[in-house]
Structure 1
Amino acid sequence: MDFLTQNWFLVVMAVGSGLMLLWPSLSGKTAGVSSAEAVRLINREKAVLLDVSEPAEFAAGHAAGSRNLPFGQIEAGAKALPTNKTLPLVVVCPTGARAGRAVSALQKLGYEKAVVLSGGLAAWREANLPTEKSAA
């Protein structure tokens, strides 16, 4: 007990660093998944790749096999969303910023396994994964 009172600053630092490490899991924020993890989810767990880009962005280039559902249409419960809410959803946009907000909206709609593709479409391309363009 004498050690704790003499080294109270070290104890506070240890507790503080532990809380910082646990903060993401305690706050309920969803961490993104890497491109490799996204491919694993698609192949093994039948995850749906959902692109929340605007139609023009989607047509210019998107991950092969992804469905387009613009961010503004998510809360309307668009038909592009799977009816099975237990399927994992990997949400992608050009940078990953819009996808983070989309995941929050999807989780409110009951899609608990919705995750962001970290780095967005840029990370997908960097991993040399297939992309395609839509006819304009």
Structure 2
Amino acid sequence: MNFDELLAFAGRNQFNMILSMALVGLTVAIAYTEIARLFRGYKPLRPAELTRLINTENALVVDLSASNDFEKGHIASSRNVLPSSFDPENKLLAQAKSLPVVLVCRNGQASAGAAKRLKKAGFEQVYWLDGGVAAWQQADLPLVKGR
């Protein structure tokens, strides 16, 4: 097959070529995302994994929920820090640089971003609760009400 025949084939099968290129592009994007996730330095946890960390490694659990949401229900022993005042140099956090620190929010979105900030600030063991308090409740784990 020479170059002219290849161009003719591509012209006749242009739609298939576009689909093939799209598939290659999506494959590359997914591979890049997964590789980047492996090397980012902070990890998502499931509720059962968080329970193990709390019970065996004295993990600090930081809940980034609004105060009224925190009072409606939070994980036992978690500390409430408002997202607007979240700072890796916070006295509570600075004392736990070598301990496991787990960030929690209502749905897992704000905690993932905060985990990235802690890792950049030099924290060694950083986690976030994948799915947040909603995932904790879905796993039928208890919440504590009040402060």
- TM-score per shorter chain, which class? 0.7 to 0.9
Which protein shows a greater Rg? 2
Q: In 2, Cα distance between the equivalents of 1:113 and 1:122?
A: 23
The TM-score with structure 2 as length reference comes to 0.71
| Residue in structure 1 matched with residue 105 of structure 2 by the alignment | 93
Cα RMSD for the two superposed structures: 2.5
Correspondence 1:22 to 2:38: no
Task: From 100, 124, 127, give the equivalent of 1:112.
Answer: 124
Count residues with an aligned counterpart: 122
The TM-score with structure 1 as length reference comes to 0.76
| Residue in structure 1 matched with residue 20 of structure 2 by the alignment | none
| Residue in structure 2 matched with residue 60 of structure 1 by the alignment | 72
Q: Letter of the 1:33 partner, please give it.
A: L
TM superposition shift of 1:80: 2.8
Larger helix share, 1 or 2: 2
Q: In 1, Cα distance between the equivalents of 2:146 and 2:76?
A: 10
Classify the secondary structure of the residue corresponding to 1:99: helix
Classify the secondary structure of the residue corresponding to 1:62: coil
Correspondence 1:41 to 2:53: yes
Provide Cα deviations, 1:59-103, integer angstroms capped at 9, x if missing partner. 121111111111221227323325031100111000010101111
Q: In 2, Cα distance between the equivalents of 1:108 and 1:17?
A: 24
Q: Assess if the C-alpha contact under 8 Å between 1:58 and 1:134 holds in 2.
A: yes
Q: List gaps (5 residues or longer) in structure 1.
A: 1-12
**Percent of aligned pairs sharing the same letter:** 34
Closer/same/farther in 2, CA of residues 18 and 43 from structure 1, 3 Å limit: same
